[in-house]
Amino acid sequence: MVAVPFAPAGNDSRAELRKQIADLTRRFDAQRRSSAEIPDEVATIDRMRKRIAAQRIRLERLEHEVAALLADIGRHEEEIAGREKALALLLGTVVTRLERAHADAWSPVPVLGYRLWAMHEGALHGARTVWREAGFSATCAGDPADVPHSDGRCGRLGCGVYATKELAPLLQMHVTPESHSYVAAVVALSGKVVEHERGYRAQTARVVAAYAVWPDLVMASATPERIAALFRACDRLPSDWCELRFGHPDPLPGLTEYLTTRAEEETAWI
């Protein structure tokens, strides 16, 4: 009986295994020529050797495919990086052009402010206009171009969507603890925005958070669907959207805390 040598582990085990198989093959060939008995394990060893060889060929093929994929991925990454760089340059050019066209009034990101509306016959009334939607774009009867105007052509009170920088002065001027039937909101101003000492005049405005006060109810929401419903018909909202004002408590602390918090959260995303 011929003993099969043990193949040691380690980095050189594969080469050592090949050496052992070659040595074993030579021994068995000699035994075949001498008609000596050949162990049954020899056939098993031969099959295992062939399977290992076939698997190694397959592994090399896969390694070549992986290398080709990695090279392709590298090319795509380079193309994406180049196009992103070109996009950044193009955006910078557009923003610069807009800033030059509108001086310091153009805002590439939304500016947050505060507004009030009075409720009347199911609609929300601003200082000049009824808002039927939660978004509004300013117009000018004198000149529809470049709204809001900043050269005095509209008179002392120029065109644009008005909003204050701070909530407290707005409430102090127009609201008391006994007031009701009004909506206070955080608005995102965009497009051309003209800054004043205490507020802004903007080309467009969008309500991002609203606090509505009725005689017996309040509603606080930053959900676009609920805000849209509020502006469509403030007297026909589902009751489960609102909270009761038990004993008609002062709504201003809750209103102030809610809108201030929402403005801070919105600012974090700008």
Alpha carbons 130 and 234: distance in angstroms, whole number: 12
pTM over 0.95: no
Q: How many CB atoms lie within 10 A of CB 250?
A: 12
Cα separation, 206 vs 134, whole angstroms: 6
Please list, in sequence order, all residues whose beta carbon lies within 8 angstroms of the beta carbon of residue 222, skipping any fewer than 6 positions away. 208, 209, 210, 262
pLDDT band, very low/low/confident/very high, at 3 (cuts 50, 70, 90)? very low
Tokens representing 90?
A: 């193009």
Tens of pLDDT, residues 116-150: 999 999 999 998 899 999 999 999 887 888 889 88
